[in-house]
């Protein structure tokens, strides 16, 4: 077997000679080129290391933000240990569909509310008109002696009595209730509303 020592010695000697050559002859074109290439390689290695660090930071930041987004979408209890962006896309699409459904429902409710408000306005206007008529009727009655009766079971539930020939209100039965015709001498006004009942007793020309 050949002893490797002479070969190793030759390699070491060659390296020593190269080092001496480098130390004493840095002006050699080959060495200048080698030094420049080594410097360029070092710079490229440093740039590559910086790029790797940037990628590692970006990956860590992406994982952190994915976790934050997962918690925001699903809550701490519903969030995965480390969700992927693909998982969150499904959640986001589901939220969008729910938001669109909510918007549609809100539009329907707004339309229904608008109809209800218009109906309410009409009902209020009608009620105000009826109330106004009732107030006018009471104003005319206030100048007279009168009595008001109300029976919700009658087709014309309002009955207004004013004195007849006796000049008093006797409150006696009328019609079928008298068992054979009117027993009352009162003047009677029937109506579905108080204003209608008063209008029977006090014609419009007398009101004027």
Backbone φ/ψ region at 167: left (φ over 0), alpha (ψ -120 to 50), beta: left
By C-alpha distance, which of 75, 97, 73 is closest to 85? 73
Range in 8-17, 144-153, 192-201 the model is least confident about = 8-17
Helix, strand, or coil (residue 158): strand
Residue-wise pLDDT tens digits, 86-145: 777 777 788 888 888 888 888 888 888 888 888 877 777 776 766 777 788 788 788 888
Region of poorest pLDDT, from 3-17, 66-80, 161-175: 3-17
User: Three-state SS for 2?
Assistant: coil
The beta strand positions in the chain, using DSSP E, are: 147-150, 158-162, 187-191
Across the chain, mean pLDDT equals: 77
pLDDT of res. 6: 54
DSSP three-state, residue 65: helix
Put simply, whether the predicted model's pTM sits higher than 0.85 gets the answer no
Residues shown for the chain? 208
- Domain boundaries along the sequence of the chain: 5-78, 126-207
């Amino acid at each position: 077997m050949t002893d490797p020592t002479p070969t190793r010695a030759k390699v070491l000697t060659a390296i020593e000679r190269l080092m001496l050559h480098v130390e004493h002859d840095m002006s050699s074109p080959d060495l200048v080129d080698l030094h420049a290439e080594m410097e360029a390689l070092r710079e490229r290695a440093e740039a590559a290391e910086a790029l790797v660090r940037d990628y590692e930071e970006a990956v860590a930041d992406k994982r952190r933000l994915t976790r934050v987004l997962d918690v925001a979408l699903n809550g701490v209890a519903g969030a995965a240990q480390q969700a992927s962006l693909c998982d969150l896309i499904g959640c986001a699409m589901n939220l969008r569909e729910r938001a669109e459904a909510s918007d549609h429902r809100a539009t329907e409710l707004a339309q229904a509310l608008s109809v209800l408000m218009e109906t309410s306005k009409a009902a209020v206007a009608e009620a105000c008109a009826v109330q106004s008529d009732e107030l006018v009727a009471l104003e005319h009655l206030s100048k007279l002696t009168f009595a008001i009766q109300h029976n919700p079971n009658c087709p014309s539930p309002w009955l207004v009595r004013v004195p007849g020939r006796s000049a008093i209100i006797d409150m006696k039965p009328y019609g079928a209730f008298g068992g054979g015709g009117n027993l009352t001498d009162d003047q009677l006004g029937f109506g579905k509303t108080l204003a209608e009942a008063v209008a029977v007793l006090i014609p419009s020309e007398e009101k004027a």
